[in-house]
Amino acid sequence: MIRQLLPIFSILIGSAFLMIAGGINGMILPLRGSIEGFPTFSLGLLGTGWAIGFIAGCIHTPKLVRRSGHIRIFGVMAAVSVISILLTLLFIEPSVWIILRGLTGFCFAGAAMIVESWLNERTENKYRGRVFGIYTMVNLAATTLGQMAVTVVSTTTFALFVLAAVFYALSLVPTAITKAAAPKPLTETGLDLKILWRNSPIALVAGFLIGVSNSTFGTLGAVFGEAINLDITSIALMMSLPILAGALFQIPIGYFSDKMDRRIVLVAIMAVAAVIDAFFIITNPTSPLIILTAISVFGALIYSAYPVIVAHASDHAAPGSFIKISGGLLLMYGIGGVIGPLVAGAIMSVLPQQGMFIVTLIAHLLIVAYGALRITQNLAVREDKKSDFVGMAPGRYSTPETSALDPRSHISSERDMDSIYEVIDQE
């Protein structure tokens, strides 16, 4: 396994730099925007801008790479990301920040896709599951490190903006000096609602709604923390602990979802998440310990839901269609990410302490209701016919190329379904 990691070590480092920069960027903008007196609706639009840019990057980067090559386009993405974060420091204006945040989302998606394409190209199929897991953990750790940077560097100065720019630039180094040949063309995806609906209606609906929920929290969680007067360290922990809890909680969630109807697992975790939503709306807690504990459980639930959705869709996917299905779900998640922060920002302008959780509560209850309906209409997939659950990073950091790296995408499409699951069981 060590021999497998050595050739991709520099790629993992480049990805880590990219995620550190993304973590800093995602934290400093809402915090600094709040300090500068930006309307909450505008802060929500930062998340909407990011989601629009990220979706556009996933769709258009493969075309750009075909035209100019992996290394050149990665260099462009890194350079534009550096320019964007520095311009947010020079032009402290909500409309400018929203546009620049969208541009950063586009570049971040493109850069991540190119890094993952190198990783995909240099990983043997039999090690793909372990490499995918290591890659996911590296990204989660790096994102958390970037978010926690606000605890040691003041949000009122220019330092965090420059630090994010530095890490965006550093992400360029490993790919710029690599001797490896350019990988195959990037994975292209599109949104085919008919195919997604035929494959799994609950995956389509839940993918969109969990995008609403998770992007709302990811964008406006820090704004909520400021609204209830948490100190900067508590706010950073409030945004970082849920991601780590979500990564750890995927282990038991994956076990149960492989053993029982995944729809029941999804409905159960969304029902508990809805209870936590209601807790925040009704009680307005002020104790940092209570808030961090509840938010950690909340993150464990909402960040483990998307992998269950993808696994359920994979159970129903036709041979060879996993990448197309998972890429379509990613775009549905992204569309939810466009709408969630927009609506929540508007509500938080009136109800700053409850608005975010009102939106997530509605999203979670809708998943519970529709999931329960689907359970009554269709039988569950037999355990011996299921694909394996695979842990994943939060959807806002996943790209179509992540789906190509996923070990479930490399099962031969020429086998029938029984043979496919025999191969999975053997691995």
Residue 204 reports pLDDT greater than 60: yes
* Residue-by-residue DSSP string for 258-274: HHS-HHHHHHHHHHHHH
pLDDT of residue 415: 39
pLDDT of residue 418: 45
Residue 417 reports pLDDT greater than 50: no
pLDDT tier at 420, thresholds 50, 70, 90: very low
Q: Mean of the pLDDT values across residues 280-298?
A: 95
Residue 207 reports pLDDT greater than 90: yes
Which run of H or of E encompasses 102? helix 94-121
Residue 68 reports pLDDT greater than 80: yes
What is the tens place of the pLDDT at every residue in 210-239?
A: 999 999 999 999 999 999 999 999 999 999
State whether residue 354 is helix, strand or coil: coil
Please name the residue that has the structure tokens 């750009």: 64
Task: Tell me the C-alpha distance between 248 and 50, whole Å.
Answer: 26
Which two three-digit tokens encode residue 425? 């069981």
pLDDT of residue 419: 40
Least confident of 102-116, 196-210, 266-280, 321-335: 321-335
Residue 316 reports pLDDT greater than 50: yes
Neighbours of 403 (CB within 10 A): 25
**Range from 120-124, 196-200, 303-307 that averages highest in pLDDT:** 303-307
pLDDT tier at 192, thresholds 50, 70, 90: confident
Task: Tell me the C-alpha distance between 313 and 367, whole Å.
Answer: 15
pLDDT of residue 423: 36
Q: How far is CA 393 from the centre of its chain?
A: 6
The residue among 14, 255, 261, 211 whose CA lies nearest residue 115 is: 14
pLDDT tier at 202, thresholds 50, 70, 90: very high
Neighbours of 259 (CB within 10 A): 12
Residue 125 reports pLDDT greater than 80: no
Task: Tell me the C-alpha distance between 310 and 391, whole Å.
Answer: 10
Residue 127 reports pLDDT greater than 60: yes
Note whether 158 and 165 are within 8 A (CB): no
pLDDT of residue 416: 40
Q: Mean of the pLDDT values across residues 132-145?
A: 86
Q: Mean of the pLDDT values across residues 307-334?
A: 84
pLDDT tier at 7, thresholds 50, 70, 90: low
Least confident of 209-218, 249-258, 386-395: 386-395
Task: Tell me the C-alpha distance between 19 and 22, whole Å.
Answer: 5
* Fold of the CATH domain 2-426: Growth Hormone; Chain: A; (1.20.1250)
pLDDT tier at 396, thresholds 50, 70, 90: low
Q: Which residues contact 419 (CB under 8 A, 6 or more apart)?
A: none
pLDDT of residue 353: 93
What is the tens place of the pLDDT at every residue in 151-184?
A: 999 989 999 999 999 999 999 888 777 666 666 7
pLDDT of residue 135: 83
pLDDT of residue 401: 77
Is the Cα torsion angle 127, 129, 130, 136 positive or negative in sign? positive
Residues in the chain: 427
pLDDT of residue 426: 38
What is the tens place of the pLDDT at every residue in 40-66?
A: 999 999 999 999 999 999 889 989 988
pLDDT tier at 258, thresholds 50, 70, 90: confident
Residue 6 reports pLDDT greater than 70: no
pLDDT of residue 39: 94
Q: Mean of the pLDDT values across residues 295-320?
A: 88
